[in-house]
Structure 1
Amino acid sequence: MPEHIFKLDSSKRFVDQEKLGHNRWHPEIPPVATVKPGDSFRVDCREWFDGAIKNDDSAQDILEAPLLTVHTLSGPFRVEGAKPGDLLIVDILDVGPIPQEEGPLAGQGWGYTGIFSRNNGGGFLTEQFPDAYKAVWDFAGQTATSRHIPGVSFTGIIHPGLMGTAPSAELLGKWNAREAALIATDPERVPPLALPPEAEHAILGGLDRGEWARVGSEAARTAPPRENGGNQDIKNFTKGSRVFYPVFVDGANLSVGDLHFSQGDGEITFCGAIEMGGFIDLRVDIIPGGMETYGVHENAIFMPGNVEPNYSHWLAFSGTSVTLDGEQRYLDSHLSYQRACLHAIDYLTKFGYSPEQAYLLLGAAPIEGRLSGVVDIPNSCSTVYLPVEIFDFEVRPSAGGPTQIDPGIGAPVAANR
């Protein structure tokens, strides 16, 4: 096993660990450990809400989820010799749930998917699904099943939702300026257009506590992906992946977290993956001057992992850039993907699922999302590929009509908004 350089005690909260990680991006957050090019090492990761979400049949915890506290990131890890302008090579050697069969934390034999309330985070289809729902998934090996979404089981593509390097002070300033300008266009919007710095709930690792208020007021929130990688939520960042990250500060200061047991393309419910805590084994190296050599001045490039479920039969749903009210938009690919997802959700309700169960399933199962056409004005075409093998009944259209399943206890709504 690689050297275990960042250990977490599952009985303790994130802030009470021996080594403290962070939940904001800032160049002044000091590294918790140093590794050398060529080193392999193991890192423990907490579930992104640090145990706030429970294995039960209520979505009240999703409704009240503490979004200001996320993400609980492990790191930063300094890579000896890395300089601004280099490319940091990160190989994902292994990744998995907390290595215990059962327990109170997501990752100990179970995980969850949530639909977030429109007033607390929202999601890709928040106008159609404004309330909070939750599905709990049980793990058996690499297979996920849920008492809240019966009739399906699938192989998870286990991966980190978030990994990236630290920004420079200059890059951080660019992030804050452009996101503040976006917020200013509609400052009262719900959900908000972007998330500004917020110091009160910032956790800043080993930085001197006297500096937390100042640094927290500048530090970037971890919700969006940016030039440093970050919260990209790419389901193919699984075992066997090689990622090339731009380096913006001495040592690169790599951080990782937000592990997922499975996810569909887009993570469409916002908490659309099966969230869990666990471990990840990494190996790092450096390409000196690689940003200029390969033209990678911003945003990571990667080689997908070689561990995927072998699904070969799909049912695909398409959508175009026309709103539900019939308004034509010009090559709006975001809208066309929404319409493809809504098409799939409506289809699944014909078998007995509630719309919320279908929505949660599309977020958690390894669906394929594709941008199928972007040149045929005025409509872009997006498609959602649903693997039919994940169902234990026939889901393809036939003359006999759809099989009616027992929806079970369903995906429970929160008690109030």
Structure 2
Amino acid sequence: MPEVLFPLDSTKSFTEQQITGHNRWHPDIPPVAEVRPGQSFRVHCREWFDGAIHNDDSADDVRHAPLEIVHALSGPFAVRGAEPGDLLVVDILDVGPIPQEDSGPLAGQGWGYTGIFARDNGGGFLTDQFPDAYKAIWDFTGQRATSRHVPGVSFTGMIHPGLMGTAPSAKLLATWNAREGALRATDPDRVPPLSLPPLPDGAILGSLRGGDFDRVAAEAARTAPPRENGGNQDIKNMTKGTRVFYPVYVPGANLSVGDLHFSQGDGEITFCGAIEMGGFVDLRVDVIKGGMATYGVSENAIFLPGNVAPQYSEWLAFSGISVTTDGEQRYLDSQLAFQRACLHAIDYLTTFGYRPEQAYLILGAAPIEGRFSGVVDIPNSCATVYLPTAMFDFDVRPSAAGPARIDPGRGAPKAAR
């Protein structure tokens, strides 16, 4: 096993650990350790809400989830010799739930969760149709996931870190804050908001204290969106065996990682759409000197996906076009087309007995595939969503006999408004 450079004690909160990580992006957050090119190391990661979500049959914890504390990131790790303009090479050697613990109160100890967030606490991709909070608990058996809240479904997880990235430079951070602030100003009262401003409340900034902490907390960017440094990209294919090439913006690169997922569908469409968990990730790093200019990578990571995806051979696919649910034509709106494809899949699954929120949770958690299929034929983009048929315990294909009827069980818990 590689040396553990960021250990976590499951009995303690994120801020009570031997080494404190962070939940904001800023170039002045000090690294917790230095690693050399070619070195392999293990990192423990807390679930993104640091234990705020529980293994029970209530969604009140999702309804009141404290967004100001996310994400609980391990790091930063400085890479010896890395300089702005280089490419940081990161190999994901292994990734999994909390090691040596197959049961317990934390997500990753034999279980994980998927949440549909309430509109006024983050919302989701389909928040207009699903404005309330729901939750599904998933149990792990090896690499398979099942849920008492979504019966009739089991699938192999594509375990991956939802969030990994390098620190921004001061100039890049200022660019983020300026452009996201300008976006918010176009509709400052929108719920959910158009972007998240810096927020000192709930900020965790590693070893920073005093005046430095106050200054950085007032400037630091929230970790919710993906940006030029990688960040919260939520790419389900970034599994074991993946090699990622990150732009380097500060000396040492300052790599951080977290937000581990047992499984996820393309898009993570419920916002907390993956099966969230704590766990570990084994990494190896290297540096390509001057790689950003050499390969034209001025922003945003590129990667070679891992080769451990489950082998599904049969799919049921749904398409959508860029027309709203009330009939308004939009011009080549691929995101709207994908929303409509997802809604069509949800409607279809309800004919078998699933409640709409159960079908939505399936699309967020299971390894579905989402694709932009046609983006040039005006005025309608076409997007598609593919469901592996083998993940269902019954035949989901259309037939002359009509849909089988399943028992939806207790259903997914819904939070009180």
Q: What TM-score bracket applies, with the shorter chain setting the length? A: over 0.9
Q: Is the 8 A contact 1:202 1:212 kept in 2?
A: no
Which residue does 1:6 correspond to in 2? 6
Query: For 1:332 and 1:301, how far apart are their aligned partners in 2?
Result: 25
Structure 1 residue 38 corresponds to structure 2 residue 38: yes
- Quick one: which amino acid aligns to residue 403 of structure 1? A
Structure 1 residue 261 corresponds to structure 2 residue 262: yes
Query: For 1:348 and 1:354, how far apart are their aligned partners in 2?
Result: 8
Q: Secondary structure at the match of 2:120?
A: coil
Deviation for aligned residue 1:210? 3.2
What fraction of aligned residue pairs are identical, expressed as a percent?
A: 78
Query: For 2:282 and 2:106, how far apart are their aligned partners in 1?
Result: 20
Mapping of residues 165-314 of structure 1, within 5 Å: 165-314=166-315
Q: Is the 8 A contact 1:197 1:218 kept in 2?
A: yes
Query: For 1:408 and 1:351, how far apart are their aligned partners in 2?
Result: 13
Deviation for aligned residue 1:207? 1.5
Deviation for aligned residue 1:110? 0.1
Structure 1 range deviating more: 38-47 or 201-210: 201-210
- Quick one: which amino acid aligns to residue 127 of structure 1? D
Which residue does 2:157 correspond to in 1? 156
Which residue does 1:56 correspond to in 2? 56
Deviation for aligned residue 1:406? 0.4
- Quick one: which amino acid aligns to residue 73 of structure 1? L
Q: Secondary structure at the match of 2:183?
A: helix
Query: For 1:227 and 1:113, how far apart are their aligned partners in 2?
Result: 27
Structure 1 residue 397 corresponds to structure 2 residue 384: no
Query: For 1:131 and 1:357, how far apart are their aligned partners in 2?
Result: 13
Q: Is the 8 A contact 1:199 1:212 kept in 2?
A: no
Which residue does 2:74 correspond to in 1? 74
Structure 1 range deviating more: 207-216 or 7-16: 207-216
| Deviation readout 1:240-260 (Å, 9 max, x if unpaired) | 000000000000000000000
Which residue does 2:18 correspond to in 1? 18
Residues matched between the structures, number: 416
| Deviation readout 1:91-139 (Å, 9 max, x if unpaired) | 0000000021100000000000000000100000000000000000000
Which residue does 1:28 correspond to in 2? 28
Deviation for aligned residue 1:33? 0.4
- Quick one: which amino acid aligns to residue 250 of structure 1? P
Query: For 2:73 and 2:175, how far apart are their aligned partners in 1?
Result: 22
Structure 1 residue 387 corresponds to structure 2 residue 388: yes
| Deviation readout 1:239-294 (Å, 9 max, x if unpaired) | 00000000000000000000000000000000000000000000000000000000
Q: Secondary structure at the match of 2:119?
A: coil
Query: For 2:98 and 2:126, how far apart are their aligned partners in 1?
Result: 31
Deviation for aligned residue 1:214? 1.4
Structure 1 residue 84 corresponds to structure 2 residue 84: yes
Consecutive unaligned residues of structure 2, counting only runs of 5 or more, are none
RMSD between aligned residues: 0.5
Deviation for aligned residue 1:317? 0.2
Could you list the structure 1 runs, at least 4 aligned residues long, displaced by more than 4 angstroms after superposition. none
Q: Secondary structure at the match of 1:309?
A: coil
The TM-score normalised by the length of structure 2 is 0.99
- Quick one: which amino acid aligns to residue 42 of structure 2? R
Q: Secondary structure at the match of 1:267?
A: coil
The TM-score normalised by the length of structure 1 is 0.99
- Quick one: which amino acid aligns to residue 49 of structure 2? F
Query: For 1:38 and 1:214, how far apart are their aligned partners in 2?
Result: 35
Which residue does 1:378 correspond to in 2? 379
Query: For 1:214 and 1:248, how far apart are their aligned partners in 2?
Result: 20
